[in-house]
Structure 1
């Protein structure tokens, strides 16, 4: 694994770890960037984040 891939993995793991503590606008910006090139994965990523950090559930409950 090259250094950039390693750093991406480390940063991704760190973001998952602190996701629930991030301000909502930052969560949304990171989320939108993450799914920009993979829109079919929106639901899966949202589900993962909601399961790990229930307080990040969308206000409408969806």
Structure 2
């Protein structure tokens, strides 16, 4: 079970944004199973915070438009 440590460390939001940016930057170099795991975690986290039912599709389109390995598929 994952715990939410944001309240324990005020730097968490910044670190999460930095890690997220790094993941986006190297997305097309990650193994497909890692991409899928990260994608599913992002969708779950987004649904918990945004309640956006279209998030899965929006995230898929974003990745497709920004990465060569998926943009040409």
Distance 1:54 1:44 in 2: 17
Question: Residue in 1 aligned with 2:25?
Answer: 17
Q: How does 1:4-43 map to 2 (within 5 A)?
A: 4-37=12-45, 38=47, 40=53, 41-43=55-57
Larger fraction in helix: 1
Cα offsets for 1:38-58 (capped at 9, x unmatched): 26200111011011113136x
Question: Which of the two has higher C-alpha Rg?
Answer: 2
4+ residue runs over 3 A deviation: none
Q: 1:10-46: CA deviations, max 9, x gaps?
A: 0000000000000000000000000014262001110
2:68 maps to 54
Q: How many residues align?
A: 57
TM-score by length of 1: 0.81
Q: Over aligned residues, Cα RMSD in angstroms?
A: 1.6
TM-score (norm. length: structure 2): 0.70
Q: Distance in 1 between matches of 2:57 and 2:68?
A: 15
